[in-house]
Structure 1
Amino acid sequence: MAAAHDASPQAESVQPETIAKMTKEIVVKFIEVGKLSPSGFEETFAAVYAAIERTVGK
Structure 2
Amino acid sequence: MRKIVQIIFISFFLLMATVSYGEEIYKVQKGDTLYSISKRYNVPIQELMAVNNLDSIA
Higher relative CO (CA 8 A, sep ≥ 6), structure 1 or 2? 1
Q: TM-score range by the shorter chain?
A: 0.3 to 0.5
TM value normalised by structure 2? 0.32
TM value normalised by structure 1? 0.32
Larger Rg computed on CA atoms: 2
The structure carrying a bigger helix percent of its residues is 1
